Structure 1
Amino acid sequence: MLRFLAVLALAVTLCGCQGEQGCTLIGTRVGVQVDVAAPLASRVVAAKLEVCQAGRCTEPKLELFPSDQGGKYGFGDVGGLRKEWATVRLRLTDAAGKEVLDRTIDVTPKGRFPNGPQCGEGGPNAQVEVNGEGRMRERP
């Protein structure tokens, strides 16, 4: 009987904690996410990314992966990226190495909240999407 009461007391204590949301150790990648929509994505084999901010330019590695919607996506890690204006240049090439797209866009990286605002802000990133016709825009 004593064990039963101990287990019951522990269960009641644990049940009281269910209302609180814990913050996980999930982080936010710092850099630029790129999404390329179909049908343009079907022609793209490789991508190069250049990110310039405050007089400093970097060319992070950007590998593209197929998405469920027939597009492609990738992420370029940019250490030291800040939540202020930056210029992103995206170059896409086909299997023959021929340029499919070479565009530049101004973005403002934003802090993200992967666990919700109660858990604090993660590092800043920007999200750029290219539609099927090659027009680029920053996604909020």
Structure 2
Amino acid sequence: MNRHRKLGLLAILVLPLAACQGERICTAIGTPVGIQVDVAPPLAGRVAAAEMEVCQAGACRPARLELFDADGGGSNGFGDWQGLSKEPARVMLKLTGPGGDTLVDRRVEVVPRGRYPNGPDCGEGGPNARVVVDGDGTLREVP
């Protein structure tokens, strides 16, 4: 390949990159709508099943929640709840052990927030909230 063709090819490859340098690139990554639940040890090791119900604007519906083992002996999962808005909501969480015994049956108030998976310049994703269950069974919202 002669020198002029190489320079021409290089210009074709570099010019589009220079044109894009000032633009923000937003990926198609989404934000799940619902409630994230994190269960701390040692409680997480005793949980066999989880049930969650979310109430907002006078409507209560179950949210399917499956917990998975997490680093450090905890567990976590996500309950989809389509239609969740950025208004206050009540989360009812029931955790049971292998024999069906109730380990936790509590409620917590949350305020779902819009999330920005690509940063604020790329727009807001769907609202969600995060609930942490401490090792003693106490529920609390974490922003």
TM-score bracket, normalised by the shorter chain, equals over 0.9
Of 49, 56, 61, which residue of structure 2 is paired with 1:58?
61
- Structure 2, unaligned stretches of length 5 or more? none
Q: For 1:68-127, what per-residue CA distance to the aligned partner results, in whole angstroms no more than 9, with x for missing partners? A: 111010000001000001000000000001100001001000000011000000000010
CA distance in 1, matches of 2:128, 2:17: 38
4+ residue stretches of structure 1 with deviation over 6 A?
none
Identity %: 58
Q: Secondary structure at the match of 2:73?
A: coil
Matched residue type, 1:6: G
Gaps of 5+ in 1: none
Distance 1:11 1:46 in 2: 55
Aligned to 2:80: 77
What whole-Å deviation, never above 9, does each CA across 1:53-77 have from its counterpart, x for those lacking one? 0010110110000001110100000
More helix by share: 2
The alignment's TM-score, normalised by the length of structure 2, stands at 0.93
Question: What is the deviation of 1:20?
Answer: 3.5
| CA RMSD across the alignment | 1.1
Pairing partner for 1:129 from 106, 114, 132: 132
Partner of 1:2: 4
Larger radius of gyration: 2
User: How far, CA to CA, are the matches of 2:114 and 2:83 in structure 1?
Assistant: 13
Tell me the TM-score normalised to structure 1 length. Answer: 0.95
